Amino acid sequence: MSETDADLRIAVLGVGAMGAFHVNALSTRIHGARVTVVNDFFADKAAAIAAEVGARAVADPFDAINADDVDAVLIATPGSAHDEQVNACLDRGIPVLCEKPLTTDIESSYKIVQKEAALGRRLIQVGFMRRFDPEYVALKRLITDGGLGNPLIVHCTHRNPDVPPHFNAEFAVRDSVVHEVDVARFLLDEEITSVRVISGVATSRAPQGVADPLIVVFETESGRIVTDEMFVRTGVAYEVRTEVVGELGSATIGLDQNLQVKGTDGRWGGAITPGFVERFGVAYDVELQRWVDAARRGTVDGPGAWDGYAAVAVCEAGVQAVRTGETVTVQMSVRPGASDDTVAEPEGGITAPDLEGARP
């Protein structure tokens, strides 16, 4: 940026459902930013989304990253494209918000961690939006303030109403369980050291031979246990709950406690959340606003390359656990310049997000 108070000019790579959602947010609800360039594998899709927000469509993602009218990049392309695209952002020295996964294998993720460390400044944020959800923020604060005493166990439930047929157990680990991996690291402030995946009777909604649901059991460095029920074809709704059990009590989030109605039909109840955009819409917008604000200050204010790498490493162990049925140890290299804080935390700490102007 030439002026510190100028809008952050953003290239969005990949405008499938998530990328298009972010383009819309950046153009309507997020302050201090504007989308100048849109890129997608499908040129007509890029052109249509670009036209909606007064941006230009660029066919080559690397031309988009290196364009003169781009100060920062948001990557929402398929995971297999992330490695080269994130590296190109580092080469140019501009901030990048990359949807998970950081890359699709441990080695390339670690190389990115090392490359950013060598640059001496943080440029990468990874799209673990749950860290910006008001309920997760409140839970984290409760733990940090000692309200639960020593947290002993985290129980997670992650249910999707439906997914495409290619979504097998390994895919579910990489694409869905990855969120609980980050949540566990965020809430407990320590690394995950081993993973076990148990599958029982599968739902008849799952394709033949696909294990769904799964119970994933993580162990952390200090020996805490995290359980995750991962069920991606419930046929019901989007349900993400987290309960932390500590020495002084327990706390639960994600109870869908919205408007409760008692009707003349003799029934009572509220609305169930259909999908992740509805459940985490506010979190996505807070994430974007904090990323934009931080980028304009020349910094990063959210989960970074190390968190992306750690998630890839744990998911890789998770995939091995699916394949072998064994408890698999997570293989992680040393964090460059590691100090006591091994789990990166947002620069702004765990303060409640400012929701002003960030409602989907």
Residues 76 and 101: their CA atoms lie apart, in Å, by: 10
Residue number, 17 or 355, with CB nearest to ligand ISE: 17
Residue at shortest CB range from ligand ISE = 176
Burial readout 233-257 (b: 16 or more C-beta within 10 A, e: otherwise): bbeebbbbbbbbebeeeebebbeee
The two structure tokens encoding residue 286: 């807070």
Residue number, 151 or 213, with CB nearest to ligand ISE: 213
Query: Whole-number minimum distance, CB 205 to ligand ISE, in Å?
Result: 15
Residue number, 10 or 76, with CB nearest to ligand ISE: 76
Residue number, 10 or 172, with CB nearest to ligand ISE: 172
Residue number, 175 or 190, with CB nearest to ligand ISE: 175
Of the candidates 286, 285, 292, the one whose C-alpha atom is nearest the C-alpha of residue 350 is 286
The two structure tokens encoding residue 122: 């943080």
- Applying CB under 6 A, the site for ligand ISE has a residue count of 6
Residue number, 82 or 179, with CB nearest to ligand ISE: 179
Query: Whole-number minimum distance, CB 343 to ligand ISE, in Å?
Result: 20
Per-residue binding letters, 309-348, with ligand ISE (x by CB under 6 A): ----------------------------------------
Query: Whole-number minimum distance, CB 182 to ligand ISE, in Å?
Result: 11
The two structure tokens encoding residue 270: 């509220």
Q: Write the CA distances from 109 to 24, 113, 115, 178, integer angstroms.
A: 29, 6, 10, 15
CB 279 within 8 A of CB 240: yes
Residues 224 and 218: their CA atoms lie apart, in Å, by: 8
Q: Write the CA distances from 107 to 5, 73, 310, integer angstroms.
A: 38, 23, 11
- Please state the φ and ψ torsions of residue 286, each to the nearest 5 degrees: -65, -40
Among 9, 179, 233, 290, binds ligand ISE (CB under 6 A): 179
Among 276, 284, 291, 306, binds ligand ISE (CB under 6 A): 276
Query: Whole-number minimum distance, CB 262 to ligand ISE, in Å?
Result: 31
The beta strand positions in the chain, using DSSP E, are: 8-13, 33-39, 56-57, 72-75, 96-98, 124-126, 151-159, 192-199, 214-220, 225-231, 239-246, 249-253, 261-262, 268-269, 328-329
Q: Write the CA distances from 15 to 75, 108, 203, 257, integer angstroms.
A: 9, 24, 32, 32
Residue number, 244 or 311, with CB nearest to ligand ISE: 311
Query: Whole-number minimum distance, CB 278 to ligand ISE, in Å?
Result: 11
CB 330 within 8 A of CB 192: yes
Residue number, 34 or 186, with CB nearest to ligand ISE: 186
Question: Can residue 77 be called a binding residue for ligand ISE (CB under 6 A)?
Answer: no
Residues 327 and 260: their CA atoms lie apart, in Å, by: 42
Residues 123 and 59: their CA atoms lie apart, in Å, by: 24
Residue number, 116 or 133, with CB nearest to ligand ISE: 133
Query: Whole-number minimum distance, CB 230 to ligand ISE, in Å?
Result: 8
Query: Whole-number minimum distance, CB 14 to ligand ISE, in Å?
Result: 13
- Window 148 to 177, contacts with ligand ISE (CB under 6 A): 160, 175-176
- Binding-site ranges for ligand ISE (CB under 6 A): 160, 175-176, 179, 232, 276
